């Protein structure tokens, strides 16, 4: 399993959009993304100037059914 890089919420959102997720709604500082085909939801906390921790990133990837390997590959594209 590759190391999960520490990324900003905006970079994680770009990866979710590449996988077909769309913004469903915003609840406070959390952006809720929805994937219409798989009926998946992912909640991304967006705080200006702060990166997401590895645990939060892994949790979001698990909700979105994205493997760490796939995440790393999508980040580099």
pTM: 0.92
Q: Indicate whether 71 pLDDT > 80.
A: yes
- Structural contact between residues 7 and 75, judged by C-beta atoms closer than 8 angstroms: yes
pLDDT value for 38: 83
- In percent, the amount of the chain with pLDDT more than 90 equals 87
For the stretch 36-66, pLDDT in tens is 988 899 999 999 999 999 999 999 999 999 9
What pLDDT was estimated at residue 1?
64
For the chain, domains (ranges, CATH) are 9-76 (3.30.920.30)
Closest CA to 25 of 47, 48, 41, 8: 41
Q: Please say whether the dihedral angle defined by the alpha carbons of residues 21, 24, 27 and 28, taken in this order, is positive or negative.
A: positive
Q: Are 21 and 60 in contact (CB under 8 A)?
A: no
């Amino acid at each position: 399993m590759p190391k999960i890089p520490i990324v900003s919420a905006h970079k994680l959102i770009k990866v979710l959009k590449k996988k077909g997720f769309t913004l469903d709604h915003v609840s406070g500082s959390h952006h809720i993304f929805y994937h219409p085909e798989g009926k998946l939801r992912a909640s991304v906390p967006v705080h200006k100037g702060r990166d997401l921790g590895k645990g939060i990133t892994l949790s979001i990837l698990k909700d979105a059914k994205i493997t760490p390997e796939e995440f790393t590959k999508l980040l580099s594209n």
